[in-house]
Structure 1
């Protein structure tokens, strides 16, 4: 059991969610791998004049996904790619192969990861941890144009 002395919480903050700000981000991927979206998402938060609320990202595809992962050591991303490849290998003998041998594994990898993310915004900043970044994961071998809906709901400086 955890001692109450080892847990603390700051004062509550309450705002009216009076603004909804949205944008469509188009990302040209280089092919399989991780694309860091953190700086672009932080720029959206600034342009939206976001103060406090919830940021949602949603990818409009079934063979690419989103994740929040470590941003410090690039071997983490390589190991995650290898793990996904082991979980959904191209040579598994998939029935669905109309778009190539990497298509069905890409669908499985998307199912195992996420198509949407939520990140709190407080005092105008994304509340990501020190070592966290927002990534689009391209599961297909060839480059694609991927669309990510970014939406902030909450209080803005213009409210």
Structure 2
């Protein structure tokens, strides 16, 4: 299995970062198999969705509705409402697996692999890309 860590810098805002080109670069030339994208953090996830047409912004808005910062979270360290960030991976899992054929990601036309992070306390993040040959 081939595997590598990708460093990300998210800043101090909630983000949906498109990782598709980085994932495609990693899978290129590897033949057939599976690309596994994993976030080794308790407060971030991986989503496959359309970007660039507002869906990424809509996702963050929906997460704010589902997981409001001003809820009475029991997990209280960090900035106010940080408890929601620890619940996020239950809704947006910290992983995704994508088929790869002849070194190309088999995503649909409008699908992108995205890192989703609502944790404004930690701007330095990592994503592990792993390729399991078929």
| TM bracket (short chain) | over 0.9
Shift of 1:144: 1.2
1:12 aligned partner? none
| 1:27 and 2:8 are equivalent in the alignment | yes
Contact 1:102 1:141 in 2 (8 A): no
Give the Cα–Cα distance (whole angstroms) in 2 for the partners of residues 69 and 90 of structure 1.
Answer: 24
2:104 aligned partner? 125
Contact 1:102 1:140 in 2 (8 A): no
Q: Secondary structure at the match of 1:51?
A: coil
1:42 aligned partner? 24
Aligned pair partner of 1:55 in 23, 28, 35: 35
Unaligned regions of 5+ residues in structure 2, if any?
Answer: none
TM-score, with normalisation over the residues of structure 2? 0.92
Give the Cα–Cα distance (whole angstroms) in 2 for the partners of residues 92 and 154 of structure 1.
Answer: 44
Aligned pair partner of 2:45 in 62, 65, 87: 65
Q: How many residues align?
A: 133
Contact 1:119 1:126 in 2 (8 A): yes
Q: Which runs of 4+ in 1 moved over 4 A?
A: none
- 1:44-99 Cα offsets, whole Å, 9 max, x none, are 112xx3110011011000111111001241x2111111111111101111121111
- 1:124-156 Cα offsets, whole Å, 9 max, x none, are 10001110001101112355111111100115x
Unaligned regions of 5+ residues in structure 1, if any?
Answer: 1-19
Superposition RMSD on alpha carbons, in Å? 1.3
Contact 1:36 1:136 in 2 (8 A): yes
The structure that has the greater radius of gyration is: 1
TM-score, with normalisation over the residues of structure 1? 0.79
